[in-house]
């Protein structure tokens, strides 16, 4: 959420940001409602001051004067109620409009409408060439007996799967390896709630615009998160750090994640690329409101994810994400896309985002600066690892002619020394 003062003073900049992010929000109407609210609140505050002044004098008044004062206080209360009746719908409209206002992208962000307009800035690793006919991850997984998609669909519907045998061990190895790596870098590891209230969804800007992608437990007013970011950012919601020296806070959260994938009917239906439930380790940082520090921490998060892919020996490229492919609150974003042979292209496995104070304002997360000034924190996040999507390049790139799959060297200790997964039905 942006500061309304910033919007008043930079309305054209905010309009341009909304246009470039393809977000339809009426900034002129927001400012009109804001002006009406300010005038009504000022008038109501004057009446409240008068009411309070008269009320405090009543005990010292004589009988007739006391009766007149009491009657006048009642009249003022009625006027205040009238103002409240006018203010309430305007405040509701104001809040709704404010939640739609996007964060303003940094100047370096390319202007564009879709992921086709993202700009490649780095390519790492060589795309391998096989001297045999390769299988895609589905055929490999079925032969290895590590994934069962048909029974997943039978039990839970489309985009569902069972991960089994060495497939489950491989996912667990990935998660533990990544957590160990991040803990060594100073992150606090956390297992987080995956069912959350509505407030954290609004606080992290997944509501209102992302509501259609979220599974809701309506009886309990709870929602299944699509990323541990929701819970990790909200961990310090409505809190103020007493000293800037407590920052940055660096968390890595392990969680199951859930997404409805609304609007993707018929898209990526084969295999494990686009599923409803997945497991992820997410990196989240809360830092002081310093643009230079946020910039460095963003690159730090991005580098962590790159190191993970390098350790796994998965070729990838990094793209600078354009305005139309960014979320409502993001001001700087990079995607890492891993090479997936069966798709014949790089495909997204990690997203790294900076928010300035957008999430912290919504979540009310503050700190006291060196001079005692209270400020909103800045927030950042990036995927560390997400499965089963990462299993696509991992399986496909490490396959052998006999259908076996090599375990990346860095994961062998986490697999009990296993170096290869063999087909079950040679």
Q: Catalogue the active-site residues.
A: 259, 274, 348, 351, 389
Q: Is 372 left (phi over 0), alpha (psi -120 to 50) or beta?
A: left
pLDDT over threshold 80, residue 426: no
108-132 residue pLDDT tens = 999 999 999 999 999 999 999 999 9
Give the per-residue pLDDT at 307. 98
User: Which residue from 7, 15, 9, 17 is spatially nearest to 328, judged by alpha carbons?
Assistant: 17
Position 140 scores a pLDDT of 97
pLDDT for 192 equals 98
Is the predicted pLDDT of residue 383 greater than 70, yes or no?
Answer: yes
Q: In this model, does residue 18 exceed pLDDT 70?
A: yes
Q: What does the alpha-carbon distance between residue 362 and residue 377 come to, in Å, rounded to a whole number?
A: 11
Mean pLDDT, the chain, whole residue set:
96
In this prediction, residues 150-176 reach a mean pLDDT of: 97
What pLDDT was estimated at residue 66? 85
pLDDT in tens, 351-381: 999 999 999 999 999 999 999 999 999 999 9
> 268 or 143: whose pLDDT is higher?
143
Contacts of 292-295 with C-beta under 8 Å, sequence gap 24+, read 293/248, 293/378, 294/354, 294/356, 294/378, 294/380, 295/332, 295/354
State the pLDDT at residue 266: 85
Q: What is the pLDDT of residue 366?
A: 98
Which domains are delineated in the chain?
A: 4-100 (1.10.287.40), 115-421 (3.30.930.10)
Cis peptide leading into residue 395 (ω within 30°): no
pLDDT at 164: 98
* Mean pLDDT calculated for residue range 150-171: 97
pLDDT digit string, tens, across residues 236-293: 999 999 999 999 999 999 999 999 998 888 888 899 999 999 999 999 999 999 999 9
Residue with tokens 């891993």: 338
pLDDT over 80 (residue 229) = yes
Q: Mind spelling out the 3-state secondary structure of the chain?
A: CCCHHHHHHCHHHHHHHHHHCCCCCCHHHHHHHHHHHHHHHHHHHHHHHHHHHHHHHHHHCCHHHHHHHHHHHHHHHHHHHHHHHHHHHHHHHHHHHHHHCCCCCCCCCCCCCCHHHCEEEEEECCCCCCCCCCCCHHHHHHHHCCEEHHHHHHHHCCCCCEECCHHHHHHHHHHHHHHHHHHHCCCEEEECCCEECHHHHHHCCCCCCCHHHCCEEHHHCEEECCCCHHHHHHCCCCEEECCHHHCCEEEEEEEEEECCCCCCCCCCCCCCCCCCEEEEEEEEEEECCCHHHHHHHHHHHHHHHHHHHHHCCCCEEEEECCHHHCCCCCCEEEEEEEEECCCCEEEEEEEEEECCCHHHHHHCEEEECCCCCEEECEEEEEEEEEECCCHHHHHHHCECCCCCEECCHHHHHHHCCCCEECCCCC
Question: 397-425 pLDDT, tens per residue?
Answer: 999 999 999 999 999 999 999 999 999 86
How sure is the predictor about 62, in pLDDT bands with cuts at 50, 70 and 90? confident
pLDDT at 425: 67
Q: At what angle do helices 11-20 and 27-57 cross, to 10 degrees?
A: 130
Predicted confidence band of residue 198 (pLDDT cuts 50, 70, 90): very high
- CA end-to-end distance (rounded Å), the chain: 57
CA dihedral 31, 32, 35, 37 (to 10 degrees): -110
Average pLDDT of the segment spanning 137-145: 97
Distance, CA of 81 to CA of 143 (rounded, Å): 72
Nearest to 359, CA basis, from 202, 213, 140, 155: 202
Mean pLDDT throughout 74-90?
A: 94
**Average pLDDT for 301-315:** 98
* Predicted pLDDT of residue 55: 87
Q: CA-to-CA distance for 52 and 345, rounded, in angstroms? A: 69
Look at residue 91 in the predicted model and tell me its pLDDT: 97
Structure tokens at 371: 């001079």
172-187 residue pLDDT tens: 999 999 999 999 999 9
Higher pLDDT, 10 or 267: 10
Return the C-alpha torsion angle 404, 407, 408, 412, nearest 10: -160
Contact by Cβ (8 Å): 391, 312: no
The pLDDT score that the predictor gives to residue 247 is 98
- 19 pLDDT higher than 60: yes
Q: How many residues does the chain have?
A: 426
Across 30-41, average pLDDT = 97
* Closest of 261, 253, 129, 265 to residue 187, by C-alpha: 253
* pLDDT tens digits for range 202-224: 999 999 999 999 999 999 999 99
The pLDDT value recorded for residue 56 is 87
172 CB neighbour count, 10 Å cutoff: 15
């Amino acid at each position: 959420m942006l500061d309304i003062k910033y919007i008043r003073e930079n309305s054209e900049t905010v309009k341009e940001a909304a246009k470039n992010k393809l977000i339809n929000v009426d900034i002129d109407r927001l400012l009109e409602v804001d002006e009406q609210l300010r005038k009504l609140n000022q008038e109501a505050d004057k009446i409240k001051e008068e009411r309070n002044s008269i009320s405090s004098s009543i005990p010292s008044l004589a009988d007739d004067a006391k009766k007149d004062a009491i009657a006048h206080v009642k009249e003022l209360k009625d006027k205040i109620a009238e103002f409240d009746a006018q203010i309430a719908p305007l405040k509701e409209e104001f809040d709704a409009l404010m939640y739609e206002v996007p964060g303003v992208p940094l100047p370096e962000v390319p202007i564009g409408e879709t992921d086709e307009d993202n700009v490649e800035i780095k390519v790492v690793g060589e795309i391998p060439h096989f001297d045999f006919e390769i299988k895609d991850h589905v055929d490999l997984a079925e032969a290895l007996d590590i994934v069962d998609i048909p029974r997943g669909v039978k039990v839970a519907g489309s985009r569902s799967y069972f991960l089994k045998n060495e497939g489950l061990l491989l996912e667990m190895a990935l998660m533990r390896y990544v957590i160990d790596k991040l803990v060594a870098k100073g992150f606090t590891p956390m297992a987080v709630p995956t069912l959350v209230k509505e407030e954290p969804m609004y606080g992290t800007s997944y509501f209102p615009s992302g509501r259609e992608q979220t599974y809701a437990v309506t009886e309990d007013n709870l929602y299944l998160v699509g990323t541990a970011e929701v819970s990790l950012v909200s961990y310090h919601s409505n809190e103020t750090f007493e000293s800037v020296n407590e920052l940055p806070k660096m968390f890595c959260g392990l969680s199951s994640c859930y997404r409805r994938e609304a609007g993707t009917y018929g898209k990526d239906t084969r295999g494990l690329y686009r599923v409803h439930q997945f497991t992820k380790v997410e990196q989240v940082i809360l830092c002081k409101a310093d643009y230079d520090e946020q910039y460095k921490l963003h690159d730090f998060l991005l580098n962590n994810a790159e190191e993970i892919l390098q350790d796994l020996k998965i070729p990838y490229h990094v793209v600078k994400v354009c305005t139309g492919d960014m979320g409502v609150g993001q001001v700087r974003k990079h995607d890492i896309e891993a090479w997936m042979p069966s798709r014949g292209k790089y495909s997204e496995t990690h997203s790294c985002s900076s928010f300035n104070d957008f999430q912290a304002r919504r979540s009310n997360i503050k700190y006291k600066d060196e001079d005692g000034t209270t400020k909103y924190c800045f927030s950042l996040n990036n995927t560390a690892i997400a499965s089963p999507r990462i299993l696509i390049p991992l399986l496909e790139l490490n396959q052998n002619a006999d259908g076996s799959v090599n375990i990346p060297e860095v994961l062998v200790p986490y697999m009990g020394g296993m170096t290869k997964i063999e087909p079950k039905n040679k």
